[in-house]
Structure 1
Amino acid sequence: MMLNHLIIIDATGELGTLAGHMLAQLGASVTRLVPAEGEKADPVWNRAKSCVALEDADLPSLLSGADILLRNGPLPGVEPADYPGLIDVLLTPFACTDRPATDLTLMARSGLLHIGGDPDREPLRLPGQQAYALGAIQAVIGALTALHARKDKGQRVTVSAYQSAVLANYREPVMWDWAGKVGGRQGNLLVRGKSGVNQVWKVADGWVTWALVDNPGMMRAMVALMTADNMAGPLAGVDWENILVADLPQETLKEWEKVVGAFFSTKTRAFLAYQSNRHGMGLSAIDEPDDVLNSAHHAARGAFTDFADPVSGRTIRVPGPLFRTSREVAR
């Protein structure tokens, strides 16, 4: 595998354990240092690592042979800077401070909670530990970038999970910087210009994503499909080349969307996705969890694998290798 020449020491906690997992999935040999209070990180993200209790580890020996160290703070009795070829990746909640945080508080402070959910309801949190995951992804990017620049000299990489989450919330910070405006939750609406249009639609067997947008080709293709079932209504007479959907009154869009919604309710996801791919309607079917897990496409690529969860005692399906390659790199 592409990183099978690398040795990684993973001394992170919940924040960062995904980084070691990603490197292990790319072929690196990863040793996990388990703290004295025991392992708290998700066992799924540690399944491809060898584990050593921190109090039993010979840290100088481990760091002398390592390429990359992943950590959240100091390690007892060693200074990473003393190992000249080591890439030292420090992943913390915030830059230049030891202020405590959780995934939830990082999500809230970054603004990602502020934009998730319906405008008249409480914020919706994304599943899992998304801020921790975003920080871990940036830590991997930083580690591999430093590896490219290393040559014979070690590198220091610092990553803030908070800043990583802010970067993922790209639209709101940019809006504040350039327009001095704070966005908000829009729910199912895609707001452009004066009005908003629905993005997620109920169909006969689930959900699809599609929107009335300023793309004449997409609109004509959808209306043609609706016309074949005599369900286009007022949309059949619209000159899509000479209107701007974003500037239409919200009342007009709501009337049009009632017509579209009635048509969608009679069709399946598979039918609509096939027609969209064939005619360029810009529609995508939304998979249910079982669709993802049982996909023949995913199965052929080993996208999921079985894992005996030591916490629950159950065998669960978890993501398989991130990448596959036929090239082997000698250590």
Structure 2
Amino acid sequence: MMLSHLRVIDLTQDLGRYTGKLLADLGADVLRIESGASTDVASLAWDSGKRLIALDPANSSDRQALRDLIRSADVLVRNCVAEPFTHEELATAHPRLIDIVIGAFAASSERPATDLTLMARSGLMAIVGDPDRAPMTLPGEQAFALAGAQGAVAALTAVHARHVDGKGQLVTVSALQSAVLANYREPLMWQFAGRVGRRTGNLLVRGKSGVRQIWSCRDGHVTWSLVDNPGMMRAMVKVMRERGMAADLTAIDWESTLIADTPRETLAAWESHVEAFFLAHTRAELTQWSVAHGLGLSQIDGVEDVLASEQLRSRDMWREIARPGAASVAVPGPLFVTSEFDASNQGDVP
């Protein structure tokens, strides 16, 4: 595996836990330090691929054992730069150690935060949801996941730097900043145009108008939009006409129509015909026609669809994790799979 020559110590709480998961997926030997094993489904997903070791840093003997483990590691991932050991103390004993500190705001900040409050402060929630309703957050712990991904990138960058100069380093990651970076459009809009973004719900706004993105069909939902692509629009109308549902869409000259400048009222009238067509057919039918005729449509999978996906099963996507006293649970496996890797050529084996 790509990172099989690296050992990682994971001391994070929920924030930053994804960093160790990603590094484990890439082949690193990740030791997750906890006072006891968890059977919580979310924890099992974040800790998939890690080796769990029960140690309590508050206990003197466990603290010394943890110190010894860190001395054998390449990367330490934690939430506080001073706990359970200061960075200066660790760097003195282990100058090649890469110390990744993932905090809510900054390594020195102790302000309380949750994934929800971080999402709200980042501005991401301001653009999620319908315009006439309260803002919403995204499914799962997205701010925590974004910080975890940045932590993994930081660790890999620091490992590369150590390969060049032989030195470890301290790297700090802010979960708030990670979420803000994911929300790149709204901060830039404010900085350069002085405008605050707004929620548009199920409309993709371009130019002077907006088009619908998510549609109900007979057995679920699909995603598709009216776009300035004459070939795609003609293909959709052709499929609809063959089933007697194109109505007045057949009279539109798509070559000379600019969707972005078409009044919303006109687009809504056109979309009413598309809505009726989608509601009369299944996701499988619509997807088949999309592939055959280039409609630019995709079905939206639910949880059961994802778990039953033949494509994901063929690449061994899922891992069954046993839970004491409870049914096993399927969690995602590695995001990346490599056919061959020779760690002996990397020059950074501890």
Range of TM-score over shorter length? over 0.9
Separation of aligned partners in 2, 1:202 and 1:69: 47
**Partner Cα distance (1:49, 1:318) in 2:** 13
Q: Please report how far the alpha carbon of residue 328 of structure 1 lies from its aligned counterpart in structure 2 after TM superposition.
A: 4.0
Residue deviations 1:120-176 (CA, integer Å, cap 9, x gap): 112222222111111000000111011111121112211110011111112211211
Q: Deviations over 1:239-267 (max 9, x none)?
A: 11112111111111111011111111112
- Aligned partners of 1:45 and 1:211: how far apart in 2? 35
More deviation, 245-254/48-57: 48-57
**Distance in 2 (alpha carbons) for counterparts of 1:233 and 1:169:** 40
Matched, 1:92 2:93: no
Q: Which moved more, 1:54-63 or 1:138-147?
A: 54-63
Deviation at 1:77, TM superposition (A): 4.2
Structure 2 residue corresponding to 1:154, chosen from 168, 175, 178: 168
Distance 1:176 1:115 in 2: 13
Residue 142 of structure 2: aligned partner: 130
Q: Does 1:4 align with 2:14?
A: no
Decide which of 79, 84, 90 is 1:76's aligned counterpart: 84
Measured at CA, do residues 292 and 66 of structure 1 come closer, stay the same or move farther in structure 2, by a change above 3 Å?
same
1:326/1:236 CA distance change after superposition, 3 Å: same
Structure 2 stretches lacking a partner, 5+ long: 344-348
Give 2:113's aligned amino acid: A
1:293 alignment partner, SS class? helix
Give the fraction of aligned pairs with identical amino acids, expressed as a percent: 54
Q: Is the 8 A contact 2:203 2:212 kept in 1?
A: yes
How many residue pairs are counted as aligned between the two chains?
330
CA RMSD of aligned residues (A): 2.0
How do residues 1-331 of structure 1 correspond to structure 2 at under 5 angstroms? 1-34=1-34, 42-50=43-51, 51-55=53-57, 56-57=62-63, 58-73=65-80, 74-78=82-86, 79-82=89-92, 83-95=94-106, 96-151=108-163, 152-310=166-324, 313-330=326-343
Residue type of the alignment partner of 1:76: P
Structure 1: tracts of 5 or more residues without a match? none
Residue deviations 1:84-106, cap 9 Å, x none?
11111111000252222111100
- Structure 1 letter corresponding to 2:83: L
**One-letter code aligned to 1:66:** A
Change (3 A) 1:77 1:159: closer
Cα drift, residue 52 of structure 1: 3.3
Whether the 8 Å CA contact 1:33–1:53 is kept in 2: the answer is yes
CA contact (8 A) 2:217 2:280 kept: yes
Query: What TM-score results when the alignment is normalised by the length of structure 1?
Result: 0.94
Counterpart Cα distance in 1 of 2:113 and 2:302: 33
Residues 39, 323 of structure 2: 8 Å contact kept = no
Which amino acid in the other structure matches residue 171 of structure 2? V
Asked if the contact 1:44–1:309 (Cα under 8 Å) also holds between the matched residues in 2, the reply is no
Shift of 1:35: 5.4
Q: Report which stretch shifted further, 49-58 or 140-149.
A: 49-58
Residues 77, 118 of structure 1: alpha-carbon distance in 2 compared, 3 angstrom cutoff: closer
Give the 3-state SS of the residue equivalent to 1:69 in structure 2. Answer: strand
For 2:256, the aligned partner's letter is N
Change in 2 beyond 3 A, CA 1:52/1:39: farther
TM-score, with length taken from structure 2: 0.89
- SS for the counterpart of 2:275 is helix
| Letter of the structure 2 residue corresponding to residue 9 of structure 1 | I
Equivalent residues of 2:44, 2:321 under 8 A apart? no
SS at match of 1:182: coil
Relative distance call for 1:69 and 1:77 in structure 2 (3 A) is: closer
> What amino acid maps onto 1:317 in structure 2?
A
Q: CA deviation at 1:64?
A: 2.1
Cα deviations by residue, 1:196-219 (Å, 9 ceiling, x for unpaired)? 111001111111000011111211
CA contact (8 A) 1:31 1:52 kept: no
